[in-house]
Structure 1
Amino acid sequence: MSIQEESVRDTSVRSGGPQEPTPGLIPLTDPSGEASGGALQDLVVLDLTRILSGPFATMTLADLGADVIKIEQPGQGDDTRQWGPPFQGEEAAYFLSVNRNKRSLAVDLKSAEGLAAVRQLALKADVLVENFRPGTAARLGLGYEDLSTENPGLVYASISGYGQTGPDAARAGYDAIAQARSGIMSVTGEAGGPPVRVGVSSADLVAGMWATIGILAALHEKKRTGRGQWVDISLLDGSVSWLTYVSSGYFASGETPQRYGSAHPTIAPYQAFATADGFVMVAVGNDGLWRRLTTALNREELAVDERFASNPSRVAHRNILIPLLEEIMLTRRTDEWVQALDLAGVPVGPIQTVDQALIDPQVIARGMVAELEHPTVGALKMVGCPVRLTRTPASIRTAPPLLGQHTDDILSGLGFSTNRIASLREAGAVQ
C-alpha cells in the first residue's frame, strides 16, 4: 500500500564482513527464487517524530519493509541534522544513524496548505508516529481522536516524556531526566561513587523499542477488528520497565538497590576485572561455573571454601572474594584469560571499545555493520538491524534522506500537480 512506489530497491548495501549472504541485510529469496520483501512492505507509516526515540522506532519499521514518510520542517529538518560534529560531508552522523530507509517530505505545518497535505497523508496511512509534547498534535488537527474518525484503522503511536495521562503529562521529556527519575541512574556507577547516566540514550531507545512493539501489537489486533488504536509510550514508563529484577529485589527485601559498578547485586563473581593489559568480563552464574573458574585459575581450594561454595555465600563474602580474584586476574593479559576461561567453559568476554566492537568477527558475521552509498557522503557505514527473519528479512535499502528529497514524489502520489507543488514551494510551504 505504498503511497507511491519509488526506486528504493537500488541498494548498494554492502555487508561489513565476508561477502556471503547475511540474513537481515542482504535480501533473501523465497523457494520460488523471487526476492522476498520485508515483513511490513504493505504498510505506510507517517513519521512526525524527531531526535531519537521516534526516529529509532520508525527506522525499525522501515528496516522491516514499511514505507516511512518523514515529515520535516523546510530549511531546518530534524533537529539532529545540526547535531555535530562529527559530520560526514554536510550530514550530521547523529541524524544518519536513525533515519535510513525513509522518504523525506519537507513541509511547514504552520502553513494551512502544508498542514492539509500532511493530514491527507495521515488519512491514508496505516501507522502514524509522533513525539510532540502531549496536546500539540491535537492542536494541529493531527491528534488521534480527530484522525481516527475518518481513518478508523489508523494505528497512532505517541512517544512522550511522561505519557498522555498523569500529573506530569504536559512536561517536556528528556532522556537523562527519565534515566534519573526511573531509578536507572541510581543503580549505575561504581559503589560509593555518584550516580551515572547510561553511556547511550537508553530512555529514548527503550521508548522507541516499546513503541515498535506496541505498534505491531495494535496492527495484529487490527486484523481481528479492522480498527486501529492509540499506542501511548513514555520515556519514564519504558525506563521503569527495565528495573525488572532490581525492583523485585526491593519489593521482596525493602532494601533500596545500590550501585555495584560492573558487578551484579545477587550473583558473584559476575563483573569486570582488570587484567595485565585491559579488562575482562566474567559471568559466573551458578556453582558449577564457579568450580570451573577455580580450576582455570589453579585455585581449586576456593571451590571448597565454605565462604565461597555457594552463590549466596559468595555474595555475602564478596568483599573477601573479589580482592582475591582481582589479584589473580592481573597476572595475565586479556586475550590469555579469554582463551583460558573459554576453554574451561566459563562465560567470559573482553571489554571492548566501540571501535573494537565494530570489527568483532561475530558482529561482522552477523551483518551488524553495513555500508551503503549516500548521495553526498559517499560510502556510509552504519549499524545493521538485529531482527533476523528467514523469509522476510529486514534490509537496508536506502540512505538517510536529504531534507525534502522526496517532497515532489510524495505530493505527486497524493495527486498534487506539478504547478501546485511549485506554488507551494514558492510560498515556502514545502521544500
Structure 2
Amino acid sequence: MPITILELQAALESGSTTAVELTQRALERIQNEQGEGPACFIEVFAEQALEAARASDILRAAGLSRSLLEGLPMSVKNLFDVAGYPTLGGSIVLEDADPAMYHSVVVDRLLKAGAILLGSTNMTEFAFSGLGINPHYGTPSSVWQRDQARIPGGSSSGAGVAVADDMSVFSIGTDTGGSIRIPAAFNGVVGFKPTAERIPSDGTMPLSRSLDSSGPLAASVECCAIVDAVLSDQAYIPLLPSPLETLRFALPDAYVLEQMDDTVKEAFERSLALLLEHGAQIDTIAIPEFAQLPYINRQGGLVCAEAWALHRELIGSNESDYDPRVASRILRGKEMDCADYIDLLDTREAWIAAVEARLNGYDALLLPTVPIIAPRIADLQASDAAYFEANALILRNPSIINFLNGCALSIPCHADGQAPVGLMVAAPAYHDQHLLAIGAAIEQALYA
C-alpha cells in the first residue's frame, strides 16, 4: 500500500523529508517514460508545484502548517477547473476552450489547505464509462499484471493509478456511477464517494447533475477522511474505528452477488468471514429494488438524459471528435422526453425511500465493489460488444449507491499477491462520518 498522510506528516515534521523532496520524487515518477505517468496525467504543473512546495517548507519551518495536507503532492481529475488552464474533461473537443478564470471550489480548498497540486489526471472522456479507456490521451494500466495491460477502471482512471504508483499521495476524482470506487478497487487503494451534496460542484465539469459526486482516492480510510474534511470545509476530527462487535451489516441476497469471478468471490467471502470472527453481525436480506434498476433505467436513465442536455450543442457540431463509445451513450439521452424524465425523478424518490426502509437498523451495506477483476485493455478496445458488456457489469454494483444518493467506500480486501479486489461498504445519504468510522474498523480487521 502507498504511504499514508499521517506517516508523511510525521516524516515532514521530523525533518526526514521535505515538501520539495516529496514533490520532486512524485514528478520524477510522473515524467518517467517507462512508467504509467505519461498516460496518467493530461496536464503536469511542475514549476508551480515546486514553487508551492518551497513555500510549504518555509511555512512549516515557521510553525505555520495549514492542515494535515500541508506539503503533500496530490492530483485532481481533468474536469476540475484549474485557473489558467482549459478544463478538457479528457476530451480533445475542448482543446480550444478558454482557460478557467478561477479554481474550482475543490481545488481552491485543497490549495488553501497546503496541498501541492502536481497536475490533472487522465479519465474516460467526459467521465462517461467505468472502464477508464481513453483513445485521445492513452490509457494507463492498472497495477495488476502490468505485462497484460489491464484496465485502470474509470472514469477516474489516472487518479487510481497515480495513488497506487506513488505519483500522488491522494487524488480527487468524481463518481457518477462508481468512478472513484472502480479505479480504487482495480488498483488496490481506498476510494470514498461522499454524499453528493456535501462537496460543492462549482467549477467541476458535470456529467449528471443528479448523480455526480466528488471525493478522494488514497492509501487508507483515514487518509480519505482527512481529505474529505478539507473538501467539505469541516474541521478534521481524528477517526475512531467503530467496534466491529457493535455493528450490524446488511448483505443483499442477490443481484450484486451475481457473475462474481472466482478471485472476487474468494476475497469477498474471506472478508465476510473475518468480520464475523471480529464479532460483527451480518444479515443476508432481500433488497428486490436493486434488481429493478435495469428496468428503471431502460431508456438510459438520468445519466444519459442529463449528459445529452449538457452536450447536445457540442456533440451536434463535433461528434466526430468524440470517443464514439462515449458519444453513443450521450446520444441515447435525446430519446427521453420531458414526461419520462419527470417520471424517472419521481420513481427514484420512491425507490430511495423503499431501500432506506430496508436498511433501517443496519449500520452499513456490504457488497463487492466490482464482481470481476480488471479485464485486459486490448480485449475491450477490440470489440464494442465486449466493451459495453464489461462496462455494464463493472458499473452495476457501485451505481446502485449513486441512485440511492448514498455514500460508500471501496476498501482493498484481496490477499497479498492476488488481483486487487474492493469491498464496498455503503450507507444512505449523510451517514458519511459513521461510514468512515466503520470503514476504518473493517480496514483494521482485514489487515491485522
TM-score (norm 1): 0.24
TM-score (norm 2): 0.24
Higher relative contact order (CA 8 A, sep 6+): 1
Greater share of residues in helix: 2
Q: Report which of the two structures shows the higher radius of gyration computed on alpha carbons.
A: 1
